[in-house]
Amino acid sequence: MIVSKVQKQAKAKSSPANKSAAPEISASHDSIRERAFQIYENRGSEPGHDTQDWLRAEIQLAGRPIESR
C-alpha cells in the first residue's frame, strides 16, 4: 500500500508526542469571551487588541502563567 505525504503528515500530527505540545483549552467559548472582554475593559477599552485579549483569556482560564512584555 502506498502512503501519501499528506497521510504521513496527518499521522505525525496525531501522534502522542505532538499532543503534549499544545494542551487543549477546557474553558468554554463563553467564559473565554467574557474574560477577554474584561481584559479589554481593564486596558481602557482600547480597540485593536482583540486577538491578544482572546489569547490572554484562554491562557488565564487554562491556569497557565502569562509572560508580560
Q: pTM above the 0.75 mark?
A: no
Q: For 24-46, how does the pLDDT look when each residue is reduced to its tens digit (9 = 90+)?
A: 556 789 999 999 999 999 999 99
- The residue ranking higher by pLDDT, 6 or 62, is 62
Residue 2, Cα to own-chain centre: how many angstroms? 35
Distance CA 40, CA 45 (A): 5
DSSP letter at 25 equals P
**What pLDDT score was predicted for residue 51?**
96
